[in-house]
A and B are shown apart, each in its own frame.
Chain A
Amino acid sequence: MSRGQRLVLQLTGIAVTVAAWEVVGRMMGEGLLAAPSVVLREYGSLLSEGTMLRELFFSLRQMLVGFGLACLVGMPLGIAMGRSRVFDVILHPWVSMLVVLSVAALVPLFLLLFGSGFNFRAAIVFMASVWYIVLTTYHGARGVEPRFLEVACSFGASRLHVFWKVLMPALYPYLITGARIGLVHAIRAMVVAEMYVIVGYGGLIHKTGLHVSTAPLLGLLLTLMTVSIVSNWLLRLAGDWLAPWYKARLTPA
């Protein structure tokens, strides 16, 4: 199938979905499901009013702190676990336990531990994303082709050299994939935490959910969707730029 044909199919799919949404929306009415035409009209006022974007930036900044910390901690931890059996044995059971834990269930505990301010939200985002980053990096670090390391050793590379020149480049795609998966979970956790204590963008969603019309609510969801898709796309670009030799599809685990 050529690129053009694929694009036509993709656009058709989107058009069919939006059309179906319009029809169902008109049938059900604004209170149950606002049609896209209504949402579009409402979206202009959401943008010009400014609350939505202000809350969004405020929330994203806090989320990025938690997510950044998760990367800073998770990536070295994953490498250590993947390359050293001691770290693996000590940390693996804890990581596998914490990765299945629901973020929403952590919220009440973290409220007791951290209050409801910035620390709380950063901590929730951190806990939600760090284990996925650790596990992805871990699988990458474990799977590094031993031949590559042996070649470097044969040529008398020092340990530090092997780390920076062989191991790290082999890991770039995994670091990026880990960051992508982590970011998805970070954004989810941000919304969970904010909807629970009703602040920031999540709080705005909660409050907007009480309106009579669902149009502004759908507008907020569309913005969130855009943020998620764009950030994912940016990270993929970063991956292609960082490790162009891996551009051959590396699907997220």
Chain B
Amino acid sequence: MRYRTGILYILSICAGLLLWEVVAGQFSRVVLSPPSAVLRHLYVNTTSLLLPLLLVRSLGHAALGFLLAAAVAIPLGFLMGRSEKAFHMFDPVVNAIYAIPTVAFVPFLIIWFGLFFPGRTALVFLMCVFDMLVTVSAGARNVDPAQINVGRSFGASRWQIFGKVLLPASLPFVFTAVRIGLVRAVNAMITAELFFAAVNLGAHMQKAQNRFDSAGLLAILTILCVLGLMVQEGVKALEAKLLPWHVRH
């Protein structure tokens, strides 16, 4: 069943690409390149190692920003989720800041961190941290109290309850938070490169835009799309392997 669905998905993607190829034939290359031109662009620039190099450099600030965000969001999320007082105190504030589109902070980040690597890392951090914080705190809050009570009845200490009950019970949420955070980090990676000084993949996009080269733009979009999906499905696969007791529905 799963196997057949996979084949159907691939067929659907092929059909879509074919349709795009036909439709793009009606337009000028400037406006919309056909998938064949995009593939050629990808092939030429991958074999010349240009795109892989740019991608690796781009991943630098994405990875650092994400790790910082995870280091802040996961402990803070547990704190907010497990302490009723902390939750009610900080929930409105977190939601209020979360409501502001993160890109709007860019002028600030430029003032504080400059136009280059630290600024980009800060944007990635900001774009990831709130999504992860909200998910982890919701997860830690929703741990079944019956499970904790069983631990208490059997005389478990606070640390034992944390390590043996709370942590395993909220690991699925931590994984969800990591998945959401990583997809956000990929998005933030390219956002940062376009909104601060253009470098790496962002600079490649700007050059393509100035040359009216839609194939170049679509090539980068394809890379980002594949990267985002790989990250998302990778975390899902890891979760299925590491947390077999957690049934996804």
- Chain A contact residues, CB within 8 Å of chain B: 1, 6, 9-10, 12-14, 16-17, 31-32, 89-94, 96-98, 100-109, 111-113, 184, 187-188, 190-192, 195-196, 202, 205-206, 208-210, 214, 217, 220-221, 224-225, 228-229, 232, 251
Residues of A within 8 A of B228 (CB): 100-102
**Is B121 part of the contact surface with A, judged by Cβ < 8 Å?**
no
Contact with A along B191-210 (1 / 0, CB 8 A): 10011000000000110110
Q: Given A104-B187, A108-B206, A108-B209 in contact, is the A6-B108 Cβ separation under 8 Å?
A: no
Chain A residue, CB-CB nearest to B231: A100
Q: Are B195 and A112 within 8 A (Cβ)?
A: no
**Is B90 part of the contact surface with A, judged by Cβ < 8 Å?**
yes
Q: Are A205 and B104 within 8 A (Cβ)?
A: yes
Chain B residue, CB-CB nearest to A111: B209
**Is B49 part of the contact surface with A, judged by Cβ < 8 Å?**
no
- Chain B contact residues, CB within 8 Å of chain A: 5, 8-10, 12-13, 15-16, 30-32, 84-85, 88-93, 95-97, 99-108, 110-112, 138, 183, 186-188, 190-191, 194-195, 205-206, 208-209, 212, 214, 217-218, 220-221, 224-225, 228-229, 232
Q: Are B187 and A112 within 8 A (Cβ)?
A: no
Residues of A within 8 A of B105 (CB): 221
Q: Given A105-B194, A188-B101, A209-B107 in contact, is the A14-B92 Cβ separation under 8 Å?
A: yes
Residues of A within 8 A of B96 (CB): 225, 229
Q: Are B101 and A251 within 8 A (Cβ)?
A: no
Q: Given A106-B221, A109-B214, A196-B194 in contact, is the A9-B232 Cβ separation under 8 Å?
A: no
Q: Given A94-B13, A112-B214, A191-B101 in contact, is the A105-B90 Cβ separation under 8 Å?
A: no
Chain B residue, CB-CB nearest to A112: B214
Q: Given A13-B89, A97-B229 in contact, is the A104-B103 Cβ separation under 8 Å?
A: yes
Chain B residue, CB-CB nearest to A108: B209
Count contacts between A and B, CB distance < 8 Å: 155
Q: Are B89 and A251 within 8 A (Cβ)?
A: no
Q: Are A113 and B101 within 8 A (Cβ)?
A: no
Q: Are B89 and A12 within 8 A (Cβ)?
A: yes
Q: Considering the chains assembled together, what is the distance between the CA atoms of A98 and B183 in angstroms?
A: 12
Chain B residue, CB-CB nearest to A17: B93
Q: Considering the chains assembled together, what is the distance between the CA atoms of A9 and B84 in angstroms?
A: 10
Q: Are B103 and A191 within 8 A (Cβ)?
A: yes
Q: Are B89 and A102 within 8 A (Cβ)?
A: no
What are 18 residue pairs bridging A and B, where the CB atoms are less than 8 Å apart in the complex? A10-B88, A13-B88, A14-B93, A32-B112, A89-B12, A94-B12, A100-B225, A104-B103, A105-B205, A105-B220, A109-B218, A184-B99, A187-B101, A191-B101, A206-B107, A214-B111, A225-B96, A232-B99
Shortest CB distance A139–B (Å): 11
Residues of A within 8 A of B13 (CB): 93-94
Q: Considering the chains assembled together, what is the distance between the CA atoms of A217 and B105 in angstroms?
A: 9
Chain B residue, CB-CB nearest to A1: B84
Q: Which of B92, B102, B107 contacts A10 (CB 8 A)?
A: B92
Chain B residue, CB-CB nearest to A232: B99
Residues of B within 8 A of A210 (CB): 107
Q: Considering the chains assembled together, what is the distance between the CA atoms of A11 and B218 in angstroms?
A: 48
Residues of B within 8 A of A96 (CB): 229
Q: Are B92 and A104 within 8 A (Cβ)?
A: no
Chain A residue, CB-CB nearest to B188: A102
Chain A residue, CB-CB nearest to B16: A94
Of A10, A220, A224, most B-chain CB atoms within 10 Å: A10
Q: Considering the chains assembled together, what is the distance between the CA atoms of A217 and B110 in angstroms?
A: 13
Q: Are A217 and B194 within 8 A (Cβ)?
A: no
Q: Considering the chains assembled together, what is the distance between the CA atoms of A96 and B231 in angstroms?
A: 13
